[in-house]
A and B are shown apart, each in its own frame.
Chain A
């Protein structure tokens, strides 16, 4: 049976290439994201994940390739040709940022009102109507406040609604950014490392929120994440990038077992058997949260000639912390 992302495609990325001068950040990348599924985009640091996001959301114009978005009603959008704000306004793609970009001098609820700018702007008769107190705008304004309140409720920030966004703790700012993106009424939500800096309990809440967005709001989610508990816990589909190229694509279980993924994350040589096994075991641990048998790990650690031994240990704490040698 064909996977859902082949049959019910929301986002179709084909032969996407992005070059910055001589550097090829993404090379010939093709993948699909299904409607109402959570698709995770993972890969070591510098693999080009955020560049893919910037291409999808219109902030970068790709050098080559096509990014096609298809709505439920059959409307299609070629995102690589659209201005960044039109990607959100017309194609209904919302995003968050790796380094949080809230309007920190505005209150939490104002942030959510800004997100509903286009709806309110139309209702305000391009400001003229609202300036003379049109009832249509007042109704739209009330509805927008209700929507803001609903999303604050979803992310658990109702109590802080009237506080400045810049005063919120880090985890709350991440949730607020998701709520703000959802207030634009997206069909596809792109989240750039939503779990970065969250504690395990907050990650768990994030998982629930993302599942609710997927199921209750019929929104496809595209996710960049290093936290494997989030990626493996909730994604339906995982795409792995390395050096701007796709090295694996499939369900979480398929990706976990893929030797290319293990190689990309740990940088082990194929012929180095002992180390390879140890590394694979550690990756398995990270992916499945099962402890590695001591004897396998010992084989990796006691061998002094293996340069990646310390990295292996680090990797067991958190996978992305380990980098391939010589990578920036």
Chain B
């Protein structure tokens, strides 16, 4: 819908526009957009009992027009505005300024505010959704669904942040990350249903998640080291293939070791409790304990805050680690392994810690995933999940934590959008659903990204130490790692 705005903008020169000029600009853009929208969107023909009639869709048209105008206005004020650009543009080395980052991107300028805003939004999101999403409000039915989607997205953000340690910081291409997710999930499933009742009696089951969570992380970290040992000498493609195989091995073992994992039938596991209080309409439950009426949304909100806490833990720990010697060694390893060894850095241990810490966060989110679903089966841990998490990290910009948030919302959010786009059924072949085309959309998005932003959303690297001022390093200098 923003096509007319874009094409007209590329021809205009960059100069500061007065407010009146901006209004004029918006007027013309609005006019063109309206002209395009009226025949395409506003009027819709219908075949009712073999007679052709039409319906009008004013609201949809206005929403689309509003999107186009808002986009145009934001671009005018922030991106196509040389004054704003000059004020915040980083000083590039004139001769070497690569074309890809010569102009300051939108992200550079509003990045810090967006990050803070998103953090604030994440904290109050369930409350907002409960307000606006309940039955008599603007978006009926969106309270549970919205929170559920947010939980889903946060899980992937956490996985992305975990994998970022391995791929983004240490530069080790890991295509089998989902294996650690599986280890975490099965660690929770097996400990809470089989081993904890066996060792400590059934009374422990409601508390199992909180005891298992660290154990799941620990077990996944162990498996990270087990994977790390054989692949220490491998680089690039070879490393990728072995990690891919590792992911598949874990999944196949889960399927075939029937006596231990219950095979493809999966395991029913206890759902997450509020520190021992179940979310159910019964005595001794959460609602009973706090004397409130039972509502399923309580469990959604609680799950949301648990995953938010876990994701923030991942965020702050990895951010802190980056500024410590170990994180600096990871990045140095990505830049040049031989130079690292010449400086006395034990690259073996450095790689293993990267694998272990990345795997640990995978294990945490796996345990959460199992507790949220109430069910685990090997089907949840297929290769495409690894590829998706890797795509999130790559699309976000290797090593960038905030970029991962954007890319997760873009990829996972677009999946949900496909669920909503029933109007696409008109153009799709009969018998297909829009949701079936979501991977195609991800593929197209990746191709476009490789064309326009080959380094991902966030291409700058923040230095971990500085003498006078912290200057971001252009992504073109940063190595992607050799595997």
Contacts and interface: CB of A to CB of B under 8 A. Distances in A.
A contact patch SS: helix
B343 A184 contact: yes
A127 interface: yes
A231 B409 CA distance: 60
B463 interface: yes
Interface string B173-205: 000000000000000000000000000000000
A149 B466 CA distance: 10
Interface string B341-357: 11111110000010000
Interface string B304-331: 0000000000000100110011101101
Contact of B328 (A105, A114, A118): A114
A103 B336 contact: yes
A52 to B, nearest CB: 15
Contacts of A130: 324-325
Nearest to A96: B342
Contacts of B332: 103, 106, 114, 117
A173 interface: no
Interface in A113-129: 113-118, 120-121, 124, 127
B259 interface: no
Nearest to B467: A161
Interface stretch (B4-12, B14-22, B229-237, B472-480): B472-480
Interface string A95-118: 101000111111101100111111
B339 A103 contact: yes
Contact of A107 (B334, B341, B345, B471): B471
Interface in A1-43: none
Interface residues of B, number: 41
B325 A127 contact: yes
Contacts of B277: none
B13 interface: no
Nearest to A190: B342
A114 B96 contact: no
A318 B470 CA distance: 43
A117 B344 contact: yes
A170 interface: no
B211 interface: no
Contact of A161 (B338, B468, B473, B478): B468
B465 interface: yes
Given A101-B339, A164-B477, A180-B343, A106 B468 contact: no
Contacts of B345: 85, 114, 117-118
A117 B325 contact: yes
**Max chain A Cβ within 10 angstroms of own Cβ: one of B320, B463, B471:** B463
A166 B477 contact: yes
Contacts of A145: 465, 467
B467 A162 contact: yes
Contacts of B343: 85, 88, 94, 114-115, 117, 180-181, 184
Contacts of B96: 167
A15 B339 CA distance: 28
Contacts of A127: 321, 324-326, 353
Given A127-B326, A162-B471, A167 B339 contact: no
A290 B366 CA distance: 75
B81 interface: no
Given A107-B473, A149-B467, A164-B473, A113 B320 contact: no
B468 A184 contact: no
Contacts of B334: 105
A59 B464 contact: no
B482 interface: no
Interface centre among A114, A115, A117 (most CB of B within 10 A): A114
Contacts of A110: 328, 463-465
B328 A113 contact: yes
A85 B469 contact: no
Contacts of B298: none
13 contacts: A59-B341, A59-B342, A97-B338, A102-B339, A105-B473, A106-B328, A116-B325, A117-B325, A117-B345, A127-B325, A148-B467, A162-B470, A164-B474
Given A103-B335, A105-B334, 17 more contacts: A95-B342, A97-B339, A101-B336, A103-B331, A109-B463, A109-B467, A110-B463, A113-B465, A114-B329, A114-B343, A116-B325, A117-B329, A124-B326, A131-B321, A162-B469, A163-B471, A180-B343
Among all A-B residue pairs, the 3 with the closest Cβ atoms: A105-B478, A88-B344, A89-B344
